[in-house]
Structure 1
Amino acid sequence: MNLYFNIDYQTIFGEELVLNIVTNNNNGECLTTQYRMSTTDGLHWSCCINKLPDTCQSAVQYFYSVDSAGTTKRQEWTLQPHRLAIGALKANAYHVYDQWNAIPDDAYQYTSAFTKCLKHREVQPLPASDYERTLRLVVRAPQLRASQRLVLVGDDIALGAWSLGRALPMTEINDCEWAIDLNLDEIKGQQVAVKVVAIDANNRVAPMWETGYNRELQLPQIHKNEVCVYHLQQAFFDFWDERFAGTLVPVFSLRTKRSFGVGDFGDLKTMIDFVVHTNQRVLQVLPINDSTTTHTWTDSYPYSCISIFALHPQYVDLNALPLLKNEDERKAFETLRQELNALPQIDYERVNNAKTEYLKLLFEQEGKEMMKANEFKTFFEEEARWLVPYAQYCHLRDLHGTANFAQWPDHNTWNEAERKALSTPTTKAYKEVAFHYFVQYLLYTQMRQAHEYARAKGVILKGDIPIGVNRNGCDVWTEPHYFNLNGQAGAPPDDFSVKGQNWGFPTYNWDEMLRDDCAWWVRRFQNMAKFFDAYRIDHVLGFFRIWEIPVSCVDGLLGQFSPSLGMTREEIEAYGLPFNEEAFTRPFISDWVLDRIFGENANQVKANYLQPLHDDIWELRPEYDTQRKIEQAFEGKTDEPNQWLRDGLFALVTDVLFVRDRKDPSKFHPRISVQHDFVYEALWDKDKAVFNRIYNDYYYRRNNQFWYHEAMKKLPKLVEATGMLVCAEDLGMVPDCVAWVMNELRILSLEVQSMPKDPRVRFGHLSTFPYRSVNTFSSHDMPTLRQWWDENWERTQEYYNTMLYKGGPAPHPLTGLLAREIILRQLLSPSMLCILSIQDWLAIDEDLRLPDADAERINIPANPRHYWRYRMHINIEDLMANAPFCAAVKDMVQQSGR
């Protein structure tokens, strides 16, 4: 069989087109076979293939790319490659005429969120035919609703003569892609006009013809037993953009009558029922990965995962597991379950200890038989790459009483040579770690079931990918070459934290990750697709640059963006600022500064923590010259005077005008937010003006193109790694290039009215939110709507007058009626998704919501040791039974057209 591929694509001198055929090897890995194409004019490209890879028996999957001097300059959208079915027809040759497929504006329509959840249709193979000469037409129509199908009609009698009653049904051969095989010998003439029409399978909606002129097709001259394939341009219809409502709630916060003191994957199904019951279509959760390092409440931080693959054992649904055979044990656990489930908040340690104890008893009782089953063997085979090191890591962590593998007596890094013993059921090594295999098998099975349940109900399950990993976690232990352990990831000062955020995560070694095309990230995203159809990229700015903080720091003020273009001494002086390296890079500590910070205690501070430098200038003693040393010196001193003194010393450390570049000591970065500090106050007014110009150029202009190219090295690979709908958290100090990349890759932005991206306004105008966005009023890192309302009365008053268009004083606390109006306005925004926290939904009902608004807060970013323990105060079953509340939610969703 000969395959002739043809495509029109205008190239410039030195460029050539390449046909890339994608196949899978025995291990399921994607392989690409390249074929160089030829041209005579730089526009019309073609190639002939007479021998396909062995795996291409029934279909050929391929995409085009542009090559220049051996480097790929650009390529088609690989998430939805071309696919040529070749098994249904007995043909000697296929002549394929393609269109170049760039990533479309409506790429979201092709994601599994739409094709598997919102408007699922079963993909079918093309019916077999025995035409002597076949014309195949292929067209993409992503706008179709779930109940619609595509038909073809044209001017020829064989094409229905423009009568819909005689239109030819097309087959959806791939998601959003329709095709039909026509008998060329039945069509008269050399040219036909056709159109595609959307028909409702239930006849509830009138047929919709595609927009634009008729498609004029020149019929090909082909021989007997040959097929000509025309890939037509995408069909467009006069459909409105669909918008959807959803709820954000962490899995741990769910509460049902059957819970064990914390939300679990069984409760997730019940929450999906609530979402369906209230006419919503999206359920968003926080990260569900294992974060266990100390077995204490400090592990409750869900963004500090120890494995990007392993799920947290606390989420196992014990109700879905076999019962314990010992009746006394069953009764004891049931009594404990009722006690823990009655608590207003999560008791992280008691819950996790109890669930671990239960799982160990179940493992002794059922583990051997369950792990003999084919289902477990399949799971182990699919997940062994990460599962085996993870299980050994957990065993060693518990054996040595610490997750800090640097302190273990041996096994300080993963040894691949031990994999075989750890994978063989008869060995001692396997038996030591088998419990962790067993637990992850249960978790994976339950979470996959919850995912399938959501799809069956038409609900998008949206997950969350943390930007960092725990520096003492399994990922760092297994593949340390991917991480920089001499720095800490965080965020610069913003509305969440005036001193910046220090997450403590190691930063990524992107040079190493790019060497293998970000394989670690691709595996991470593909694993996520097993459980979710949409995801939020936590702190997407980290793919442009990360805020890297020295390990000697506690807060984030002495961080610098990595990578970034530091400034040389000459560049700084070219602005007109005489560069005094000594004065600008050392903490500025003078008598008047000490008086301002410490007041009457200034002399005590000088005597105990400082030493004179010159004149009235001081420096910190060597034993107190970093924040970590100061933190250690004040460890255990929790009274208010000592905490106040410690924070004052922290402030001295960060009072510098420039931060030295961590890689090149001859370059410098303006210290973030230094305009609020004493070293800036000490400058002459003219030097302040020059410094501000340097500062603004550096943070908002200098690195834009550089960061754009950095993101484009990484994000395209990750966005196209799965079919999930991609959303990003793009709040904070956002450079212009972020919007360029997100628009180019069709990533949904996050829009929060109280944190507008336009610096000229105090509140975002809902009508200006882009369609490709997620709108919310409060995230898990922010105060809830009710808290925000009472947090700053002056701000609330302005919002009340200018955004809600109401006169008089704003009422406090927030009334349920006013909360309903605010939420309805959010739902009316143009954003594709409006996802509101469960606390904000509950705010509309004064009888249902918690009396204490502060008890609804999930996280306080300024506190790195926050206890994540918020739980819904009402069972989901009771919430669904509350007819007035559910009716109010349904009514708002309906009013907003979602």
Structure 2
Amino acid sequence: MQITFNIQYKTVFGEELLLNIVGGEAGDRTIAMSTADGLTWTCQIEAKKSEKRVDYFYSVRNCCGIKCSEWKTITHRLDLNTKASQHIIVEDLWHEIPGDTYLYSSAFTDCVNRRAEGSVKPLAYDKALRLVVRAPQLHSGARLALTGKGAVLGDWDLKKALHMTEHNHNEWIVDIDGDALDANDKNDKEVGLGNNNKICSKLVHELEFKFVAFSDKGEEMWETCENRTLTLKPLEQNEVRVVALDQSFYALCDEKVAGTLIPVFSLRSEGSFGVGDFGDLKLMVDWMAKTHQRLLQVLPINDSTSTHTWTDSYPYSCISIFALHPQYADLRQLPALNDKLEADRFEVLREELNALPQIDYERVNNAKLKYLRLLFEQEGKKVLASKEFKTFFADCERWLAPYAHYCYLRDFYGTCVFSEWPDHKQWNEADRKALSNPKSELYNKVAFYYYMQFVLDQQMRSAHEYARARGVILKGDIPIGVNRNGCDVWHEPEYFHLDSQAGAPPDAFSVNGQNWGLPTYNWDRMIADGCEWWVRRFQNMAKYFDAYRIDHVLGFFRIWAIPTDCVGGLLGQFQPALAMSRDEIQSYGLNFQEHLFTTPFIAHWVVERVFREHTEEVIKTYLNHEHDDIYSLKPEYNTERKIEAAFEGKTTEKDVWLRDGLYALVDDVLFVRDRKNPNLFHPRITAQLNFMYEALWDGDKAAFNRLYNDYYYRRNNNFWYGEAMKKLPILVQATRMLVCAEDLGMVPDCVQWVMKELRILSLELQSMPKDSSVKFGYLSRNPYRSVCTLSTHDMPTLRQWWDEDWARTQEFYNSMLYRGGAAPHPLPGWLARDIVSQQLTSPSMLCVLSLQDWFAIDERIRLADADAERINIPSIPKHYWRYRMHLNIEQLLADRDFNEQVKELIDEAGRK
């Protein structure tokens, strides 16, 4: 079968259009198109009789490579439901990334606006006209039809309208009989065509029509445009002409959704095992549907087991970007243990752990792993021989084999630090053959981990389908980093830099910055292969979620890279970044004294101010005298890591004071050297709070401030924009998940440029406005493409925030809630309800509140101790993540009064 593709796209000299076919029997392929005028491009391909469809997109190539491509998340689709002898001619349109990309996401097509998949029937006509149109606004259950002038189009009678088929997400087609078009004389006319001063006559078809949407209740809605007209040359015998039309629009309001944030580990049900699991996720979906919420957001669910201690509770330090955490296995969904005595022991332990107010991470995980091992001994052989497992293994073998081997070696050697293992210090691809052979000894050593991940995958997929069927979007979380001693680094070390640590500069969460201890990425290597590692990561996540949050999206522009000898984050620098030369620094009027500005400034008055009555002790124990009243740190204390080691185990108030004071001395520099080029420099973050800055002359302070503001807020904007656009376009188009981003912190202007261009939803917190000219954000100014919330998992809950700073609360009470008098403390339920209502009525597409903030509206149901509701405290490097709901989901489902309050607030705000 011959297919001809035609498209109009204006190019300049040296550019050519490419047709890129995705998948199919022949695999991915690219065909160069031809043109006579640089505007109309064409090419032909031959399709096999067995092919059912062709998915494709267009791109532009010049001498430097691919200049640009169409939006690739939803490609063009050509159904080959025609007769083998027919010639298909496609008249196409170029698709830029649309403003309403969110409506094409699986969050909307498979959850909120879920519709049954259309079935394309074989074409019965000898020649046919196929019209193709996109209509993303249609709601669940709606169908599209076409009606127009003439009998062939139904003569504007909706009862005779031509019903269309949704053959691709939000894209509809209808096939019209070509012979019927010829017979439709009322729509035909003779037209004179000039050709070399000769007049000829040719019949054309002139169609006048419009699209109309029918709801599942039979209500109709016409598209908002004027009647469409289409002029066509006559169809030849055995020709199928496919014409792509402009998008169909309807008078429908933008859809807004309400939802809840709760980590999976925080869920509690009557039958869970001391921690939330994937079975509890289904119960939580029931509560979402019952209260008219359409989005359930969770924290990362990847395996973070590195030490088998409570420190593994940190979910943003995964050992595998693919493997799921074993703590989330729902033991209720698995076969019962045959050993009744053992089963009874586990039941007693389950009841004990489930009654605890918080998670006992170590006991829960040890118990679950023991249970899964017993079950593997009982059921593993049968499960691993099943067709379902073999399909899973074939799909996941690339990451699953290294992961299982890593876990086995971690436990065998008793440490996750693979650099300390006597052998296997790095993944050996030669091991894959044995790891994939059920008859090998190595396979049987690691088979338990295969079984465990298969069970977790099946349960999480089931929870995902359960949520979709109830119209609830599951939203996941993609951490910016991975554990430096994890499987990902062991398996593919070329993608990481281990000589620095990822973190964040000082912000509202932490005045000294955050040091996550995670390795930074080798972006040059990642970009070289088209960010294939990230694409695999996102596509794996799409198995379980329909939306995701990019944790610390700023890391895709630049990451805060901290030296490995640092504990805090103040001596970090942005990577990549345009560092400054000596001449550039001096051009601002600052007399650059390299040694003085790049080494800790420790004058006697500095020591006195920091250590007060302990000044002499500090000088004697930790410092060397240099000259005059200037000191330096002794070599054994000249880095934060050395100081940390010296004070390990010392917890008295004095020891903490001395340790933190010594940290401050290490950090007391005005510039840090660039890690790649020691002759370039970066102004130290928040250096204006330094003693070195305090010691400058006023003129030097002014010069440094000019330099500092240019560096952090202007100098790198275009550079960071370019860095982000090398990565993010690939990633956001890798799946159909709805893309949201955490864009808080020290946000350069270019972040908004990229997020707007790629249609990424921003995060909006009223207490942390992006407009520096206001203290609290105005909710009415929230962009539609945004997620609004009261608090994140890293922040105090609404009730905690209310009591943190009474002066700030009073200003919020008067200026944002428009109430007079003194603000009440603690936060009463009626006022929390008012605050929640304002969030819900904002223009933001998504309003996602933490479960704790939902509880705040009802004093009867909320936890008495507001501080017990905190999930994470970023300023504590090793925080124990153990928050659990104080009541179980069954109780929540049964609480009619509370559920009615939630439902009423959502309905009043016009959210779905």
Shorter-chain TM-score range: over 0.9
Q: Which moved more, 1:182-191 or 1:352-361?
A: 182-191
Alpha-carbon separation, structure 1, partners of 2:415 and 2:122:
63
- What whole-Å deviation, never above 9, does each CA across 1:629-683 have from its counterpart, x for those lacking one? 1111111112221111000000000010011100011111010011111111111
Q: For 1:438-449, list aligned pairs within 5 A.
A: 438-449=451-462
- Offset at 1:133? 2.1
**What is the one-letter code of the residue matched to 2:692?**
V
**What is the one-letter code of the residue matched to 2:208?**
A
Q: Give the one of 208, 214, 232 matched to 2:221.
A: 208
| Kept after mapping to 2: 8 A contact 1:567/1:669 | yes
Alpha-carbon separation, structure 1, partners of 2:681 and 2:59:
40
- Offset at 1:25? 6.9
1:559 aligned partner = 572
Q: Which structure 2 residue ranges, 5 or more long, are not aligned?
A: 189-204
| Kept after mapping to 2: 8 A contact 1:540/1:728 | yes
Is the aligned partner of 1:528 residue 2:541?
A: yes
Q: What SS does the corresponding residue of 1:567 show, helix, strand or coil?
A: coil
Is the aligned partner of 1:197 residue 2:197?
A: no
Q: Give the one of 166, 180, 184 matched to 1:186.
A: 180
2:807 aligned partner = 794
- Offset at 1:2? 2.1
Q: In structure 2, do the counterparts of structure 1 residues 176 and 91 end up closer, same or farther at CA, with 3 Å as the change threshold?
A: farther
- What whole-Å deviation, never above 9, does each CA across 1:199-245 have from its counterpart, x for those lacking one? 11322x3x111112221101223310001110001111110001010
2:416 aligned partner = 403
2:385 aligned partner = 372
Alpha-carbon separation, structure 2, partners of 1:127 and 1:181:
10
| Kept after mapping to 2: 8 A contact 1:750/1:773 | yes
Q: Give the one of 128, 144, 167 matched to 2:122.
A: 128
Q: Which structure 1 residue ranges, 5 or more long, are not aligned?
A: none
Alpha-carbon separation, structure 2, partners of 1:459 and 1:362:
32
TM-score, normalised relative to structure 2: 0.97
Is the aligned partner of 1:168 residue 2:162?
A: yes
Q: In structure 2, do the counterparts of structure 1 residues 56 and 20 end up closer, same or farther at CA, with 3 Å as the change threshold?
A: farther
2:793 aligned partner = 780
Q: Give the one of 94, 97, 101 matched to 1:100.
A: 94
Is the aligned partner of 1:40 residue 2:55?
A: no
Alpha-carbon separation, structure 2, partners of 1:683 and 1:469:
41
**What is the one-letter code of the residue matched to 2:74?**
Q
1:146 aligned partner = 140
Alpha-carbon separation, structure 2, partners of 1:67 and 1:55:
31
**What is the one-letter code of the residue matched to 1:194?**
F
Alpha-carbon separation, structure 2, partners of 1:435 and 1:834:
41
**What is the one-letter code of the residue matched to 2:65?**
T
**What is the one-letter code of the residue matched to 1:172?**
E
| Kept after mapping to 2: 8 A contact 1:88/1:127 | no
Is the aligned partner of 1:416 residue 2:429?
A: yes
Is the aligned partner of 1:850 residue 2:863?
A: yes
Q: What SS does the corresponding residue of 2:727 show, helix, strand or coil?
A: helix
2:13 aligned partner = 13
| Kept after mapping to 2: 8 A contact 1:132/1:225 | yes
Q: What SS does the corresponding residue of 1:18 show, helix, strand or coil?
A: strand
Is the aligned partner of 1:320 residue 2:314?
A: no
2:601 aligned partner = 588
Is the aligned partner of 1:454 residue 2:500?
A: no
- Offset at 1:91? 4.3
Q: In structure 2, do the counterparts of structure 1 residues 255 and 791 end up closer, same or farther at CA, with 3 Å as the change threshold?
A: same
Is the aligned partner of 1:712 residue 2:708?
A: no
- What whole-Å deviation, never above 9, does each CA across 1:581-610 have from its counterpart, x for those lacking one? 011101110011001100111111111111
Aligned residues: 890
Alpha-carbon separation, structure 1, partners of 2:381 and 2:166:
45
- Offset at 1:84? 0.7
- Offset at 1:70? 5.0
Alpha-carbon separation, structure 2, partners of 1:91 and 1:731:
58
| Kept after mapping to 1: 8 A contact 2:110/2:468 | yes
Alpha-carbon separation, structure 1, partners of 2:826 and 2:389:
53
Q: What SS does the corresponding residue of 2:578 show, helix, strand or coil?
A: coil
- Offset at 1:126? 2.7
CA RMSD of aligned residues (A): 1.1
| Kept after mapping to 1: 8 A contact 2:24/2:51 | no
Alpha-carbon separation, structure 2, partners of 1:3 and 1:88:
11
**What is the one-letter code of the residue matched to 1:76?**
E
Is the aligned partner of 1:221 residue 2:215?
A: no
**What is the one-letter code of the residue matched to 2:82?**
A
2:581 aligned partner = 568
Q: For 1:811-826, list aligned pairs within 5 A.
A: 811-826=824-839
Q: Give the one of 35, 51, 54 matched to 1:57.
A: 51
Q: Which moved more, 1:618-627 or 1:14-23?
A: 14-23
**What is the one-letter code of the residue matched to 2:34?**
S
1:830 aligned partner = 843
- Offset at 1:55? 9.6
- What whole-Å deviation, never above 9, does each CA across 1:94-134 have from its counterpart, x for those lacking one? 11111110010000100111111111112223322332321
- Offset at 1:793? 0.5
| Kept after mapping to 1: 8 A contact 2:623/2:631 | yes
> Identity over aligned residues, as a percent?
63
- Offset at 1:193? 1.1
| Kept after mapping to 1: 8 A contact 2:292/2:903 | yes
Q: What SS does the corresponding residue of 1:841 show, helix, strand or coil?
A: helix
Q: Give the one of 463, 478, 481 matched to 2:476.
A: 463
| Kept after mapping to 2: 8 A contact 1:8/1:99 | yes
Q: Give the one of 111, 115, 118 matched to 2:109.
A: 115
Is the aligned partner of 1:156 residue 2:171?
A: no
- Offset at 1:90? 4.3
| Kept after mapping to 2: 8 A contact 1:88/1:126 | no
**What is the one-letter code of the residue matched to 1:162?**
W
Q: What SS does the corresponding residue of 1:421 show, helix, strand or coil?
A: helix
1:888 aligned partner = 901
Q: Give the one of 804, 810, 816 matched to 2:823.
A: 810
1:84 aligned partner = 78
| Kept after mapping to 2: 8 A contact 1:389/1:478 | yes
| Kept after mapping to 1: 8 A contact 2:147/2:156 | yes
| Kept after mapping to 2: 8 A contact 1:126/1:180 | no
Alpha-carbon separation, structure 2, partners of 1:846 and 1:220:
71
- Offset at 1:887? 0.6
Alpha-carbon separation, structure 2, partners of 1:221 and 1:696:
66
Q: What SS does the corresponding residue of 2:484 show, helix, strand or coil?
A: coil
Q: What SS does the corresponding residue of 2:119 show, helix, strand or coil?
A: coil
TM-score, normalised relative to structure 1: 0.98
| Kept after mapping to 1: 8 A contact 2:262/2:299 | yes
1:683 aligned partner = 696
